[in-house]
Amino acid sequence: MRVNWRTMASLLAVLALLLAACGGGDSASEEAPASEASGGGGASSESSESSGGGEVSGTIEIDGSSTVGPLTDAIAEEYAEEQPNVQVNVGISGTGGGFERFCGEGSTDIANASRPIQEEEAQLCEENGIEFTEIRVGTDALTMVTSPDTEGISCLTTEQVAKIFGPESVRNWSEVNSEFPDEEIQVFAPDTDSGTYDFMVEDALGLEESTQDYNASADDNVIAQGVQGTPYSWGFFGFAYFTNNSEGLKALEYDAGDGCVAPGVETAQNDEYKLTRPLFIYLKNSAVQEKEQVAGFVTFYLETVNSVIGDVGYIEAPADKLEESRQKVQTLISGEDPSADGSSESAS
């Protein structure tokens, strides 16, 4: 029997070794997280020898919106080439979940958000003594879609959208607008947990609640399929889901009072298309000021974001907003520790 127990132990050991071999490639970056608990501890010791903006190390904890997550991850992908010893952990708990960790637990340095922070959330931050800075990084155009077989409908006004998606729940196109065909409306939209839903109902339509009578899904691809297969359907989601399914979908124009505008990169950027939502990252001020790796990452984020945002499927933030974001970060970094300026310059 003894032999057998030993076999088992050695097999386990072999497995463990295998794993070690797998991970052996970058032992340097593995050492780094050891200083995770102390946060900037590891970074500051290195910064003394490389304040010129050389290698930094440490961990950056990020969580929040699953919409912004892939964008932040794309930046982290690029950043890893410049600063291989900085470990960026990106979670996708959702915008609300991200703020819960950011303000409630204080366990993240950055919160990804696909909507502005809500009052209660900001209050929670204040209670816990967490000062934060809102940074605009990009834009997403909410796109209303229907099936390509839908005829006679190409543009909706805010009031008409509110009729369909508001508590009124109008389910016949001719009741939305007498010029529209007499056909039943099938609605496919994100479920109530999603930031996309929140933005449509509260920010775009200014409503308190939405219709209950619609096909809700957490997966935008399911919405795309539903709309695609149903003539006279109506649905909405992020712009990327339209561009990736554009063959089977027809985008509807949106009229916020100044005429019909089709969703698109240009119309969203020059603010003609009004159904856009901002994408944010929220920075914990103390993290930016005290952790060199966070300051470096955020600076890098704003320099790189426009070159990767198209790949992820979103739209560049307006130039002035982005400039404003850069200013905010600069002030934040220089506000307390002027020596950190060196690293941000050299990163450019």
Partner 1 sequence: MMAVSTPQREAEVAQDALHAPDDRGRRERGFEFGLLIATAVAVVVLAVLLIDIAIDGLPFINSTRFTEYSSRFPEEFGFRSGITGTLSLMILVGLLSFVIGVGGATYLEEFAPNNRFTRFVEANTSNLAGVPSVVYGLLGAGVFVFFFSLGRSLIVGAITLSLLILPVIIVASREALRAVPNALREAGLGLGATPLQTIGRQILPQALPGILTGTILALSRAIGETAPILVVGALFSRRSDNVPWDIDDAFSALPIQVFDLVKRPQAAFQEQVAPAGIIILLVLLLLMNSIAIYLRNRYSRSS
Cα diameter, the chain? 85
Residue 66 is a binding residue for partner 1 (CB under 8 A): yes
Residue 265: both structure tokens together? 């990169």
Q: Choose the stretch contacting partner 1; rule: CB under 8 A; options: 39-47, 72-80, 169-177, 283-291.
A: 72-80
Task: Enumerate long-range contacts of 165-174, CB under 8 Å, 24 or more apart.
Answer: 165/189, 165/200, 165/201, 165/205, 165/210, 165/211, 165/214, 166/205, 166/207, 166/209, 166/210, 166/211, 167/207, 167/209, 167/210, 167/211, 168/211, 169/211, 169/212, 169/213, 171/213, 173/232
Applying CB under 8 A, what is the total number of residues that bind partner 1? 53
Kindly tell me which residue out of 39, 64, 70, 226 binds partner 1, with binding defined by CB under 8 A.
70
The yes or no reply on residue 298 touching partner 1 (CB under 8 A) is: no
3 state DSSP class of 292: helix
Q: Cβ 242 to partner 1, closest distance in Å?
A: 8
Query: Is residue 7 near partner 1 by the rule CB under 8 A?
Result: yes
Q: Which of 8, 181, 260, 266 binds partner 1 (CB under 8 A)?
A: 8
Binding mask 19-58 vs partner 1 (x if CB under 8 A, - otherwise)?
xx-xx-xx--xx-xx--xx---------------------
CA distances from 310 to 32, 201, 237, 303, 317 (A): 32, 26, 17, 14, 11
Q: Pick the closest to residue 57 from 70, 67, 48 (CA basis).
A: 48
Residue 86 Cβ, how far from partner 1 at the closest point, in Å?
Answer: 9
Looking at beta carbons only, is 173 or 297 nearer to partner 1? 297
Distance CA 68, CA 91 (A): 10
Q: Report which of 178, 51, 201, 50 is spatially closest to residue 115, judged by C-alpha positions.
A: 201
Among 43, 88, 302, 340, binds partner 1 (CB under 8 A): 88
Tokens of 128: 């816990």
| Beta carbons of 344 and 317 less than 8 angstroms apart | no
308 in contact with partner 1 (CB under 8 A): yes
Phi, psi for 271 (deg, rounded to 5):
70, 20
Look at the block and give the residue holding tokens 């879609």: 145
Under 8 Å CB-to-CB from 235, ≥6 apart: which residues?
144, 145, 146, 187, 188, 189, 223, 224, 226, 227
Rounded least distance, CB 13 to partner 1, Å: 10
Quick one: which segment of 109-117, 199-207, 215-223, 294-302 binds partner 1 (CB under 8 A)?
Answer: 215-223
Q: Which of 46, 61, 121, 198 binds partner 1 (CB under 8 A)?
A: 61
Provide the minimum distance between the beta carbon of 132 and partner 1 in the complex, in angstroms, as a whole number.
Answer: 20
Interatomic CA distance for residues 340 and 277, integer angstroms: 32
Could you say whether residue 262 binds partner 1 (CB under 8 A)? no
142: contact with partner 1 by CB under 8 A: no
Taking the complex as a whole, the smallest distance from the CB of residue 77 to partner 1 amounts, in Å, to 5
Pick the piece of the chain touching partner 1 (CB under 8 A) from 158-166, 256-264, 294-302, 305-313.
305-313
Nearer to partner 1, 88 or 156 (CB): 88
Residues interacting with partner 1, by CB under 8 A? Answer: 1, 4, 7-8, 11-12, 15-16, 19-20, 22-23, 25-26, 29-30, 32-33, 36-37, 59, 61, 63, 66, 69-70, 73-74, 76-77, 80, 87-93, 107, 218-221, 238, 240-241, 243-245, 308, 311-313
